[in-house]
Chains A and B, each alone.
Chain A
Amino acid sequence: MIGTGLLITLPVVPLFMVIVGKGAGALHRKHFLALARLGGMFTDRLNALPMLANYNANKKQTDLLVAASDELNKRTMNVVGVAFLSNSVLDFFATLSVALVAVFIGFSLLGELNIGPSIELKDGLWILLTVPLLLSEMKKLGAIYHQKAKAEAAQENLAPLLSSTDMPFNPDSTQPFSGFEAKAFRAGDVLHADKLVISPHDHILISGASGSGKTLLLEALSAKRESSHCLKGKVVWLTQQPVVLPSSVRQNLCLDDVYDDEKLLQVLFQVELTSWFEALPDGLDTQLSYCPELSGGEAQRLSLARALLREADIWLLDEPTAHLSDSQHHRLSRLIHSVTQDKTVLWASHKALPANWFTHFWNVKHQQVNVQ
């Protein structure tokens, strides 16, 4: 009798939970924009603190935060007030079934009720203890269901990122670059070209207004972005933001690889950092930091040395001199040109570079790569 009762009630529990969950979900969607905007305000204003101090806006923004969090709390309570019902539904069944089972068993023992087989004391107590256990397991199921929903939402947000972290070719391969030819080249929907040809030892200048897609083209060619064709061979990048790690000069050059000191000194000499290096207190083991102890030009030379160590065939240069003054731009460009003479080079720049350095000229305009 109790068994059949439980068999009927147990499926009802998830059903109620789904109904309540749907209700809470609808409420959440209704408040979604407000919740997202108000909820992010604390971290947003924390990130903006220096600006707020400069504008003397702390008082006003604190008032805004107080108002926003009150509003957020009110709306959140609206949503969770319904969501809690799902928990209460379980509580309702758990508690009521204990009460009803107790009364039922008691009455059966008293002989007031005569349904089903007769129950003895020890059976009655056993049932009394197991019924709440059964329902507390259901409660755990509810928590897991909630976690599943959270995980699905996170997966939805991360999916586009996760699918693009790995590269389709081996960036460590030592196979020499043997040339590249692409007919009807496309990079997603944003860039296309009729025909692109790159032979080994080509030097290609890519020009175009800022924001026209030069970086995008380089990314597509090196398979960092979805595209119809990509370069196969060992590639190094030099971008406008040189990276200096807060560790030793040696680690900055080697990263997770090993090179002997002689080789390191040789590349430092090649990028004209020898005099800078000789002034360092601990030589290759001098610690560098994020702080601008290196000038922009020096940091860029250090990245150039790092790239030289890799002995790559293909060099992708994405405006490596963009933030430098004119004189630094000229000195660094000459240096890059001289160390990359026997490589294949694609150099994107909107600054002036001597035309005789290059064998081919590409122009990016209106989502189209034009070969001149």
Chain B
Amino acid sequence: MTHRNRTEKPAILTLLLAILHGAAGLSILVISSWFIAISAIAPLGFNYVIPAVVIRALALLRIASGYASMWVGHNDLLYRISGVRLLVFSQLTNAHSGSHAYSTEALAHHTEEVASMWIAWIAPLSSVLILFVSVCVGASTFGLPGAPILWVGFVGWLFIMSWQGVRSLKGAGHYAASTTHFREQTTAFFNTSAIWHLKKTDSITSGQSPRYQLKNVPSAKQVWRDNLTQQASAHSAAWLFQGVAYCLLIGGLLATPSVFYTPLAIVVPMVLLASPDWASSAFHAVTRVSQWQHSRNALNALSTVPYDNLNNVGFNQQLQCEHLKPLEWRSASVSAVVQRQGITLLQGASGSGKSSLLQAIVGLIPSTGRRIVDGVPLPHGLIEGWRYVEQSPTVLSATIKQNLDPAGLGVTEQKMDECLRALGLDSLLPLETWVGKAGRHLSGGESKRLELARAILSSPSLLCVDEPFEGLDAESQQRVCTLLKRVSATTPIVVASHVVPATFSFNELISLDSISLNPTFQRIYDGHKRFTVTETGQ
């Protein structure tokens, strides 16, 4: 897998460029200040051309490495994000919808945080660390006056860093908790929009007439507050370090003023004075470590239950469902028969479990009981050629053509064209029209029919259609009836619907109404003696 390799390769170049950028900046400062100092003394025969050239060269180097490190870093970041996302995607594909206990928004955030590891903290932290150590070592090696002060400063920096690291770990916990809480609250809030009008309101007087607003609307205030607290703690650590650096400088100058009477003596004080500029970015970076850790844990905690994929099963005579019961059902199981030819209608009030029964037949959700094809029982699992047409349609953000053939089976354009026209979807043509996000918006009825076309074009060996008539006008309902009738000649079809158009002809009927409403169950339909609703054996 190419994308896996991309993410595991360390971004050494990003790190090197960051170090080069920092080193060039610091060197300019050191050499400039030394140059100024030595110029003030101006020893005889001092060659001032070389330092002047070096300073200008370093300046160019700093600018170039700055741009390059940003470019390389972001390029690397983008490839990492796509790598992590593909990894998450491949982990979640073929997993039960029941285990989707995450929001896509949170996943997008976590993958970004995990991918930004190098650019957000590894590069800045290690470049500051390496710079600081080399400055200290360099000062000691060349015997610069004040080198011990630098070492003390370095130890101080390490202390403040670890203190800040511990604080930010706690802060990141609060931040993650408040973000999750806010996400949950907003989702629940928008899901219950139908009862907003029953809730209490606040009055706000703005302008001439008072206006009223809902109370207890989820607020992002806590998220903001936690975020600001994190930033503030990084700032305070940076200020503290700056204070320590200046105190050390003054203390050093007062204690041993005599050693500072050479041009080289200017180097250490200048480095210390400028330290807030080159060393304090590490305090912000260390905050990101905690956030990265949180996101990584969240991604690692993604647990998925994979589907058992079964090869395509076609049937010659019939599919028998024996005591089939989706796991989420509480009381009864269903025994029914679906014939090779014709349409079976599944009826029942909303909430009676039509959708989950269809999904259980196809194998999209776990269930108990057995599915028997032509007398042979099938193992539990998702059967490749059996299609479930969802009640709330999924439209991919893609072209119509990609929507109609998501698996790349090579359905011909002519077939697509025919199918769309049969459903009255001429308006969606040409097939290159982009639909979904940043494309043409589809109405409920259009999405419904597009989804049906997708299922039919995939030449299924069993077609389970959930509420095909909902949200359709009479003419479209008629078209759907005709098409289903035509397809049923070659494909077994189960339709779940509470709307039954007058012209809809079906061969069999399964009714679920008495399951969820009555505590005791009875045989509800004996016309063909093919299906019964039974009590589960308790």
Interface stretch (choices A127-135, A197-205, A355-363) = A127-135
Contacts A42-B85, A99-B59: A295 and B516 contacting too (C-beta < 8 A)?
yes
Residues 158 to 178 of chain A near chain B (Cβ within 8 Å): 165-172
- Tell me the bound Cα distance from A105 to B439 in angstroms: 60
Q: A37-B397, A57-B406, A256-B200 are in contact. Are A62 and B93 (CB under 8 A)?
A: yes
Chain A residues, Cβ within 8 Å of B254 = none
Q: Kindly supply a per-residue 1/0 record for chain A positions 115-158, scoring 1 wherever the CB is within 8 Å of any chain B CB and 0 otherwise.
A: 00000110011001100110010000000000000000000000
A294 nearest in chain B by CB position: B351
Asked if A282 is at the interface of the complex by the 8 Å CB criterion, the answer is: no
Which of B104, B198, B471: most chain A Cβ within 10 A?
B198
**Which residue of chain A has the shortest Cβ distance to B519 in the bound complex?**
A279
Looking across the interface, which residue of chain A has its beta carbon closest to that of B73?
A84
Taking a contact as CB atoms under 8 Å apart, the answer to whether A166 and B387 are in contact is no
A310 to B70, CA, bound (A): 60
Interface check B246, CB cutoff 8 A:
no
Residues of chain B contacted by A58 (CB below 8 angstroms): 90, 93-94
* A69 and B86 form a contact (CB under 8 A): yes
Closest to A90 in B: B66
Chain A residues in 8 Å Cβ range of B347: 325
Tell me which of B152-160, B266-274, B423-431, B526-534 binds A: B266-274
User: A77-B75, A128-B29, A210-B471 are known contacts. Are A166 and B211 too (CB-CB below 8 A)?
Assistant: yes
Are B78 and A77 touching (Cβ within 8 A)? yes
Chain B residue nearest to A73 in the complex (CB): B78
Question: With A95-B59, A112-B48 given, is the CB distance from A124 to B40 under 8 Å?
Answer: yes
Q: For residues 25 through 54 of chain A, which have their beta carbon under 8 Å from a beta carbon of chain B?
A: 33, 36-37, 40-54
Least CB distance, B375 to chain A, in whole angstroms: 26
B277 with A60: CB separation less than 8 A: no
Q: A72's contact among B82, B198, B436, by CB below 8 Å, is which?
A: B82
| CB-CB nearest in chain B for A126 | B273
Please report the C-alpha to C-alpha distance between residue A128 and residue B29 in the assembled complex, in whole angstroms.
Answer: 8
Are B214 and A296 neighbours in the complex by a CB distance under 8 Å? no
- Please tell me which stretch of A3-11, A233-241, A336-344 contacts chain B, meaning at least 4 of its Cβ atoms lie within 8 angstroms of it: A233-241
Give every chain B residue within 8 A of A88 (Cβ-Cβ): 63, 66-67, 70
A48 touches B394 (CB 8 A): yes
A65: CB under 8 A from chain B? Answer: yes
> How far is A52 from B498 in the complex, measured between Cα atoms in Å?
26
| B residues 81-102 in Cβ contact with A at 8 Å | 81-82, 85-86, 89-90, 92-95, 97, 100
Would you call the interface of chain A mostly helix, strand, loop, or mixed?
A: helix
B350 touches A222 (CB 8 A): no
The answer, yes or no, to whether B261 is at the interface (CB within 8 Å) is no
Q: Are B56 and A103 in contact (CB under 8 A)?
A: yes
A54: which of B48, B353, B364 is its contact (CB, 8 Å)? B364
Q: Given that A210-B471, A325-B513 are contacting pairs, would A47 and B94 also be in contact in the complex, using a CB cutoff of 8 Å?
A: no
B446 CB → nearest A CB, Å: 12
A208 at the interface (CB under 8 A from B): no
Per-residue 0/1 for B510-525: is the Cβ within 8 Å of any A Cβ (1 yes, 0 no)? 0001001100000000
B333 cross-chain contacts in A, Cβ below 8 A: none
Taking CB atoms and an 8 Å cut-off, the chain B residues in 487-512 that contact chain A are 498
Q: Contact: B95 with A44, CB < 8 Å?
A: no
The B46-93 residues at the A interface (CB cut-off 8 A) are: 46, 48, 51-52, 55-56, 58-59, 62-63, 66-67, 70-71, 74-75, 78-79, 81-82, 85-86, 89-90, 92-93
Contact with A along B402-437 (1 / 0, CB 8 A): 100011100000000000000000000000001011
Least CB separation from B472: chain A residue: A210
Report which of A41, A98, A171 forms a contact with B29, defined as CB distance below 8 A: A98
- Is A183 an interface position by the 8 A CB rule? no
Could you tell me if A295 and B352 are in contact, using CB atoms closer than 8 angstroms?
yes
CB distance from A206 to the nearest CB of B (A): 18
Once the chains bind, are A99 and B439 in contact (CB under 8 Å)?
no
Residue B8 interfacial (CB < 8 Å): no
Rounded to whole Å, the gap between the CB of B406 and the closest CB of chain A is 4
Closest A residue, CB atoms, query B102: A46
Query: CB-CB < 8 A to A169: which residues of B?
Result: 212
Q: Which of A64, A102, A241 lies in contact with B55, CB distance below 8 A?
A: A102
B441 within 8 Å of A (CB atoms): no
Chain A proximity of B336: nearest CB distance (Å) = 18
Chain A nearest CB: distance from B467 CB in Å? Answer: 9
Interface residues of A in 287-302 (CB under 8 A from B): 291-299
Q: Contact at B199–A256, with CB atoms within 8 Å?
A: yes
A60-B82 in contact given A98-B29, A121-B40, A132-B277 (Cβ < 8 Å): no
Q: How far is the CB of B96 from chain A (nearest CB, A)?
A: 8
User: Least Cβ distance of A245 to chain B in Å?
Assistant: 7
Chain B residue at minimal CB-CB distance from A108? B39
A257 to chain B: which residues have CB within 8 Å?
A: 200
Query: Chain B's nearest CB lies how many Å from the CB of A205?
Result: 20
Give the distance in Å from the alpha carbon of A222 to the alpha carbon of B330 in the complex. Answer: 39
Bound-complex Cα distance A69 to B51 (A): 47
Minimum distance in angstroms from B131 CB to a CB of chain A: 16
Q: Which A residues lie within 8 Å of B471 (CB)?
A: 210-211
Q: Are B397 and A40 in contact (CB under 8 A)?
A: yes
- Which residues on the A side are within 8 Å of B273 (C-beta)? 129
Contact A49 B436 (CB under 8 A): no
Instruction: Report how far A295 CA is from B513 CA in the complex, Å.
Output: 10
| Residues of chain A with a CB closer than 8 A to B97's CB | 49-50
Known contacts being A98-B32, A222-B197, is A40 close to B437, with CB within 8 Å? yes
Residues of chain B contacted by A103 (CB below 8 angstroms)? 32, 35, 52, 55-56
CB distance from B264 to the nearest CB of A (A): 14
A334 within 8 A of B: no
Indicate which residue in B104, B406, B434 contacts A61 across the interface (CB closer than 8 Å).
Answer: B406
CB distance from B439 to the nearest CB of A (A): 7
- A272 is an interface residue with CB less than 8 A from chain B: no
**Residue A81 is within 8 A (CB to CB) of chain B in the complex:** yes
- In chain A, positions 75-97 with a C-beta closer than 8 Å to chain B are 76-77, 80-81, 84-85, 87-88, 91-92, 95-96
Name the contact of B86 in the complex, choosing from A54, A66, A172 (C-beta under 8 A): A66
Residues on the B chain within 8 Å of A53, using CB? 93-95, 307, 364, 382
The answer on a CB contact under 8 Å between A37 and B213 is no
- B residues near A110, Cβ cutoff 8 Å: 39, 42, 46, 48
CB distance from A150 to the nearest CB of B (A): 15
Question: Measured between alpha carbons, how far is A70 from B352 in the docked complex, in Å?
Answer: 46
Q: Among the interface residues A46, A47, A136, A165, which one has the most CB atoms of the partner chain B within 10 A?
A: A46
Contact B197 A325, beta carbon cutoff 8 Å: no
**B215: interface (CB < 8 Å):** yes
- Does residue A330 face the partner (Cβ distance < 8 Å to B)? no
Q: Does A209 have its Cβ within 8 Å of any Cβ on chain B?
A: yes
Q: Is A241's CB under 8 angstroms from B194's CB?
A: yes
CB-CB < 8 A to B149: which residues of A? Answer: none
Establish whether residues A56 and B407, one from each chain, have CB atoms under 8 Å apart when the complex forms: yes
A76→B100 CA distance, assembly (Å): 30
The answer to whether B198 and A255 touch across the interface, beta carbons within 8 angstroms, is yes
In the complex, the chain A residue whose C-beta lies closest to that of B209 is A168
CB distance B104 to A121 under 8 Å? no
The distance from the CB of B434 to the nearest CB of chain A, in whole angstroms, is 7
Q: Is B300 an interface residue (CB 8 A)?
A: no
Q: Mark B206-221, 1 if CB is under 8 A from A, else 0.
A: 0001111111100000
Partner of A239 from the list B2, B194, B397 (CB cut-off 8 Å) is: B194
Contact B266 A125 (CB under 8 A): yes
Seen from chain A, the residues whose Cβ lies within 8 Å of a Cβ on chain B are 33, 36-37, 40-62, 64-66, 69-70, 72-73, 76-77, 80-81, 84-85, 87-88, 91-92, 95-96, 98-99, 101-103, 105-107, 109-112, 120-121, 124-125, 128-129, 132-133, 136, 165-172, 209-211, 222, 235-237, 239, 241-243, 245-246, 255-257, 291-299, 303, 306-307, 310, 323-325, 327-328
| 7 closest Cβ pairs, A-B complex | A102-B32, A69-B82, A323-B350, A57-B407, A296-B350, A57-B406, A99-B59
- Between A and B, 5 residue pairs with Cβ closer than 8 Å are A55-B387, A109-B40, A166-B213, A170-B203, A245-B188
Given contact pairs A91-B66, A296-B350, enumerate 5 new A-B contacts (beta carbons under 8 Å). A55-B458, A57-B406, A103-B32, A295-B516, A297-B349
